Amino acid sequence: MLTQEKIRCDACPVMCFIADGKSGACDRYANENGEIIRLDPLVILNNQIEKGEQVKPFLKADWNGETTENDNTFITAIGSGTTYPDYKPAPFIFNSKVDGADFITVVTEAIFSYCGVKIKIDTDRHLGSERAIVRHKGEAIGHVMTSEYGSQMLSLGGVDHLTGGTKVEGRVTCEALMNLCNKEAIELSIDEGLTVIVQAGKPPIIEGIEETKMRVGCGSATIGMFASQWFGLVDEVVVVDDHITGVVSEHQAGKVLDWKSTGISVKGRRSTPGRYFQVANPGTGWGGTDIQDPLTILGTWNEKKGAVPGLTILMVSTTGENYSYYELDNELIPKKKKLPANLKSSVELIKENCEPALCTVMFVGGAGGSLRSGVTKNPIQLTKSVKNNETNITCGGAKTYIWPGGGITLMVDVHEMPDNSFGYVPTPAIVAPLEFTIDRNKYKSIGGHTTKIRSKKDIIENGGEYGNKKSFLS
């Protein structure tokens, strides 16, 4: 019995030999009756990206597949296939008209080794020290970046993790990046820090507990916002925060209100009046510190500067999640009391002004090299047109941010993209959809592949190099 011959797939550098009825190592291409086909459907959207409208799925159950060059259907690169290394034109080059202007869009699934994700995690809790290694399944895939205003930042991926380490490190890094970019949840552990489950557009789960609130601001900012809500109801307010702990009687906002001195003393490094750094170590307690009892940040009370028995104190965190109310006894020792009803609303106001805690996943990639020759015969002209805002780049129809400087380094919020927009090749590298949209005359002037321009109708009816009408529509 003769064994059916395998055929070679040239859609990526791996160049798999694939038997009939089987798929390649990437699970994106397969051998069907001796032809290489793209397994994932081509995604078509109903949005005019030039106008920046929201990305919406186009196809409906009753859609008959008809389209015109003047409608606002948009063929994305998702499911389009690739021409890597781009010695030939991109899979689809089509024209469309927007408000009478003639545009060309070039779509391709780009293969990125130079890529990664930047993750913004809304939390006050200390996830790990800056520069600490971030791991997935035990492998190093990135590091902790800076803390921003109520958020922790992570940098994952990059060519050094994808190809500069062991094979296992590269494989795990690629898997983590693809899952994150496809809006799936993954677990990350930080050396000498915490474990966090991250998913684009979802709250972070830190050490098994779902975060709900992003802080309203630092302790000083919180006082600036709400000092007037406390004036006349309590003698002192301390807003506990790992960054800047605020004391209302000393703060400028308190001074404007003519707030009386209370003789309070706060441990830590005094910055400006009413603002204190380093009152405690970072942690998962009050205001992102390591404390569970807020009184531990206070020193002795000075009766010469206003401390008297019966003086009242509200201590609260920057999310309103933690709060306690105290009165000084005859020895000027704070004693915990029930929070008065007239102060409860101010704590609730802090909570109300906190935004939901979410994870943001930004894909970052360098769109250079031979990728550009799939768009034009003179690649530097494409780079120049992008920098001159003559060519608009989208990822699956979603807006991108193009970094200044050399090359085409783009960043996109994966939550704005259609589901399952990303793939991989086992080199390892990430596969991301790219669309370049440019005025038709300008496209010609930069050396574009004008003989390969097709109509949207033709693409939908006849597909492309890999695939046919049945496998191409979604």
User: Residue 353 contacts by C-beta under 8 Å, 6 or more apart in sequence?
Assistant: 216, 225
Contact (Cβ atoms closer than 8 angstroms) between residue 73 and residue 67: yes
Distance CA 439, CA 236 (A): 63
Beta-strand runs (E) in 285-400: 312-317, 323-328, 334-337, 359-366, 391-395, 398-399
Measure the CA–CA gap between 295 and 265, rounded to whole angstroms. Answer: 11
Burial of 322 (0-12, 13-18, 19+ CB in 10 A): middle
For the chain, what are the domain ranges?
Answer: 7-108+372-403+431-472, 219-352
How far is 143 from 129, CA to CA, in rounded Å? 9
Query: Model-level pTM?
Result: 0.88
CB atoms within 10 A of CB 292: 11
Contact in structure between 295 and 323 (CB atoms under 8 Å): no
Residue 63's pLDDT is: 44
pLDDT of residue 25: 82
pLDDT tens, position by position, 273-291: 999 999 999 999 999 999 9
Stretch (H or E) spanning 245: strand 245-247
- Residue 162: its H or E element: helix 159-162
The sign one gets for the Cα dihedral 276, 277, 282, 287 is: positive
**Residue-wise pLDDT tens for the chain (474 aa)?**
344 688 888 777 778 899 988 888 888 888 888 888 888 888 888 754 333 333 333 333 344 555 555 567 889 999 888 877 777 899 999 998 877 789 999 999 999 999 999 999 999 999 999 999 999 999 999 999 999 989 999 999 999 999 999 999 999 999 999 999 999 999 999 999 999 999 999 999 999 999 999 999 999 999 999 999 999 999 999 999 999 999 999 999 999 999 999 999 999 999 999 999 999 999 999 999 999 999 999 999 999 999 999 999 999 999 999 999 999 999 999 999 999 999 999 999 999 999 999 999 999 999 988 889 999 999 999 999 999 999 999 999 999 999 999 999 999 999 999 999 999 988 899 999 999 999 999 999 999 999 999 998 888 877 777 654 333 333
Classified as helix, coil or strand, 411 is: strand
pLDDT of residue 309: 98
Residue 44 φ/ψ region, left for φ over 0, alpha for ψ in the -120 to 50 degree band, beta for the rest: beta
**Residue 407 — left, alpha, or beta (φ > 0 → left; ψ -120 to 50 → alpha)?**
left
Tokens of residue 244, six digits: 């800047």
* Dihedral (Cα; 14, 415, 175, 406), 10-degree rounding: 60
Instruction: Count the neighbouring beta carbons within 10 Å of the beta carbon of residue 337.
Output: 12
DSSP per position, 452-468 = G-B-HHHHHHH--SS--
Q: What is the pLDDT of residue 39?
A: 81
Tokens of 156: 């994952």
Residue 447 CB coordination number (10 Å): 16
- What's residue 60's pLDDT? 33
Q: Annotate 365-400 with b (16+ C-beta within 10 A) or e (fewer).
A: bbbbbebbbbbbeebebbbebbeeebbbbbbbbbeb
